[in-house]
Amino acid sequence: MRFDHFCFGVIAFRLLVFALFAPGVFRMFVHDVLGIAQSGGVFGAFVRVMIFPMAVVPPLWGLWNMLFIASHSRTHFPIGFHGVLLPFLLGPLGILLTLALDFRIPGFATHIFPILALVGLTAYYLIWKYVVSFLNTVLGIA
């Protein structure tokens, strides 16, 4: 058996498994998560707001990494600095989401925002500088 036939078989099997399980997972998501979100109350609002970091942030990290790889030859920004710019995109999107869903932010959050912003920006810098840079090197796309 040739290697390319084996690879095709593995890919075909994975596509078959995906085709069989994806509709069930999607149905479960629609019925369970969105059903809870529409139930109202504090918990429903919290679930509606948590959909944003779970569904939007990971793809944005991937797109941001692809933008870094595509623009690095022209801009020469360090990867950590590039990663610190991402919260400046995610923050306004999160604020728009809370306004659209009528989610009330507690009053004490405005007092601790400057501290949490510095901690968050530092975390983004370190994660992009060490973790994302390492993964880009492992994948050979750095």
Q: Check whether 110 has a pLDDT greater than 60.
A: yes
Q: Max Cα separation, the chain?
A: 66
pLDDT for residue 25 = 67
Q: Write the CB contacts of 104 (distance below 8 Å, at least 6 apart in sequence).
A: 45
Q: How confident is the model at residue 127 (pLDDT cuts 50, 70, 90)?
A: very high
Please give the average per-residue pLDDT across 73-102, as a whole number. Answer: 87
* Chain mean pLDDT for the chain: 78
11, two tokens: 């890919």
pLDDT for residue 125 = 94
Q: Check whether 89 has a pLDDT greater than 80.
A: yes
The model's pTM: 0.64
